[in-house]
Amino acid sequence: MKTHTCQPTLTDTQVLGFCKQGFLLLKAVVPDEINRSAIAFLDKNPSHEPTEILLEDWFVDNVILNPQAAGAVRSLLGQNFGLPIVMSNHRVICPSPAQNWHRDGNSKHGPALNYLQVFYYPEDCSLDLGPTELLPGSHFLFSLSKHMGHYGGIQGSFRAAAPAGSIFITVYSIWHRRSAASGKGRRNLLKYNYWRTESPRRDWIHEPDFDLATANYKLDAPTFREQFRDCNDAAEMFFWLLGKSDAFHLTGGQGWPLNRYVGKYMDRPYGVPTE
């Protein structure tokens, strides 16, 4: 397995945001000339699994090891993270109908984050070209794929329209689909994974004012889960990434990580885990 390490680029707040949302979008981080080279390669290799592109130094250096993307992966998976071993291309000729909602096969659910699923647009993907649609927070929402496909539009979903050179990083188990495309043209979307090789620990950019007791763990979107479960799930994943799973516990009721009354009636919530 090839591995890579670099400096982390995400802060405490951004890592917690990833725990809540389940994805992070980095717009136009790959240079235009690399995007053009990627499109040319895919035109010559129209396979749905063009893994040979991982042997191209220009692609590895500018996409797989892209400083902003690799820095985010480093923040979430730690040092010496494993590099992709398979490349998929979801190439679509538009117009096209929406894909069924699904989570990718062999997903595991829980607070552990041992691998990431990443997508790269080598060309502009506007709303009319059917960008990937993601359901924020759904990486904690277990459902069998055969029970998900009948859903249509879901309130609070996010359509990842973005310019060429954009990369978005996701929790592998997040609900997603190709949205409906009304426009005309071609859309390439490369998909690949990174892997954790070392134990989790707080190894990203530490914000001096970030306080585990008063941080906002609530997802600002519909969650389709039991009330306040979004706070609990995000907090548990964040503590796992800190390497402090043993310290994590939930008192329940109005206690941490709900934090509804912090700053209003009290300085710190009840039930904050001891680091």
Supply the pLDDT for residue 222: 80
More confident site: 152 or 178:
178
The pLDDT value given to residue 147: 66
Q: What is the pLDDT of residues 94-137, one digit of tens each?
A: 999 999 888 888 888 889 999 999 999 999 999 999 999 999 99
Q: Which of 25-39, 56-70, 135-149, 172-186 has the lowest mean pLDDT?
A: 135-149
Residue 39 burial by CB count (10 A; 0-12/13-18/19+): exposed, middle or buried?
Answer: middle
Check whether domain 3-195 has CATH 2.60.120.620, yes or no: yes
Q: How confident is the model at residue 142 (pLDDT cuts 50, 70, 90)?
A: confident
For 221-236, what is each residue's pLDDT tens digit?
A: 887 778 888 999 999 9
Predicted local confidence at residue 259, as pLDDT:
81
Flag whether pLDDT at 274 surpasses 80. no
Q: What is the pTM of this model?
A: 0.94
Residue 262 token pair: 């912090």
Strand order in the sheet with 176-178: 158-159, 132-134, 176-178
Give the per-residue pLDDT at 243.
96
What is the domain partition of the chain in residue ranges? 3-195
Q: What is the mean pLDDT of residues 71-77?
A: 98
The stretches of the chain forming alpha helices (DSSP H) are 12-21, 32-44, 57-59, 67-77, 229-242
Tens of pLDDT along 239-271?
Answer: 999 999 999 999 888 889 988 777 777 788 889
| Predicted confidence (pLDDT) at residue 144 exceeds the cutoff of 70 | no
Q: Are 240 and 260 in contact (CB under 8 A)?
A: no
Q: What is the pLDDT of residue 146?
A: 67
Q: What is the pLDDT of residue 275?
A: 64
pLDDT of residue 164 exceeding 90: yes
CA dihedral 61, 63, 67, 70 (to 10 degrees): -110
Spatial distance between the Cα atoms of 246 and 52, rounded to a whole number of angstroms: 42
**Taking 70 as the threshold, does the pLDDT of residue 138 lie above it?**
yes
pLDDT at 1: 81
* Average pLDDT score over residue span 185-213: 96
- Residue with token string 């879901």: 154
Under DSSP, the state recorded for 28 is: T
Rg of the chain over CA atoms, in angstroms? 19
- Evaluate if residue 89 carries a pLDDT over 80: yes
Mean pLDDT, the chain, integer: 93
